Structure 1
Amino acid sequence: MSKTNPGRFFEDYRLGETIRHAVPRTVAEGERALYHALYPQRFALYSSDAFALECGLDGAPLDDLIVFHTVFGKTVPDVSLNAVANLGYAEGRFLKPVFAGDTLRSESEVIGLKQNSNGKSGVVWVRTTGYDQTDAPVLRYVRWVMVRKRDQSAPAPETVIPDLAPTVAAEELVVPEGLSFDGYDFDLAGERHRAADYEIGETIDHVDGVTIEEAEHMLATRLWQNTAKVHFDATHREDGKRLIYGGHVISLARALSFNGLANAQMIAAINAGAHANPCFAGDTVRAWSEVLDKAEVAPGIAALRLRLVATRGAAFALRGEDGKYLPDVMLDLDYWVLMPA
Structure 2
Amino acid sequence: MIKTNTGRFFEDYAVGDVITHAVPRTISGGERAMYHALYPARGALYSSDEFARACGLPASPVDDLITFHTVFGKTVPDVSLNAVANLGYAEGRWLRPVYPGDTLVSQSEVIGIKQNSNGKSGVVWVRTTGRNQHGEEVLNYVRWVMVRKYKTTPAPHPVIPELAAAVAASDIVVPDGLTFAAYDFALAGEPHRMSDYAVGEIIDHVDGVTIEEAEHMLATRLWQNTAKVHFDAKNRPDGKRLIYGGHVISLARALSFNGLANAQMIVALNAGAHANPCFAGDTVRAWSEVLDRAETDTPGVGAIRLRLVATKGDAGVLRGDDGKYHPDVLLDLDYWALMPA
TM-score norm. by structure 2 comes to 0.99
Partner residue, 1:202 = 201
Deviation of 1:2 (Å): 1.0
Task: Name the CA distance, whole Å, in 1 between partners of 2:246 and 2:99.
Answer: 20
* Secondary structure of the corresponding residue to residue 260 of structure 1: helix
1:156 corresponds to 2:172 = no
Name the count of aligned residue pairs: 340
Deviation of 1:264 (Å): 0.2
Partner residue, 1:332 = 332
Task: Name the CA distance, whole Å, in 2 between partners of 1:4 and 1:155.
Answer: 27
Task: Name the CA distance, whole Å, in 2 between partners of 1:44 and 1:241.
Answer: 36
Partner residue, 2:119 = 119
Partner residue, 2:275 = 276
Deviation of 1:157 (Å): 1.2
Deviation of 1:156 (Å): 1.4
* Secondary structure of the corresponding residue to residue 178 of structure 1: coil
Q: Deviations over 1:276-298 (max 9, x none)?
A: 00000000000000000000112
Partner residue, 1:310 = 310
Q: Deviations over 1:137-178 (max 9, x none)?
A: 000000000000011x21211110000000000000000000
1:99 corresponds to 2:99 = yes
Task: Name the CA distance, whole Å, in 2 between partners of 1:294 and 1:108.
Answer: 31
Gaps (5+ residues) in structure 2?
Answer: none
Deviation of 1:14 (Å): 1.1
Within 5 Å, give how 1:1-341 maps onto structure 2: 1-151=1-151, 153-297=152-296, 298-341=298-341
Deviation of 1:105 (Å): 0.6
Report the AA paired with residue 12 of structure 2. D
Q: Deviations over 1:74-95 (max 9, x none)?
A: 0000000000000000000000
Deviation of 1:238 (Å): 1.2
Task: Name the CA distance, whole Å, in 2 between partners of 1:208 and 1:78.
Answer: 36
Q: CA RMSD in A?
A: 0.4
Gaps (5+ residues) in structure 1?
Answer: none
Task: Name the CA distance, whole Å, in 1 between partners of 2:231 and 2:111.
Answer: 29
TM-score norm. by structure 1 comes to 0.99
Deviation of 1:68 (Å): 0.2
Q: Deviations over 1:182-228 (max 9, x none)?
A: 00000000000000000000000000000000000010000000000
Report the AA paired with residue 267 of structure 2. A
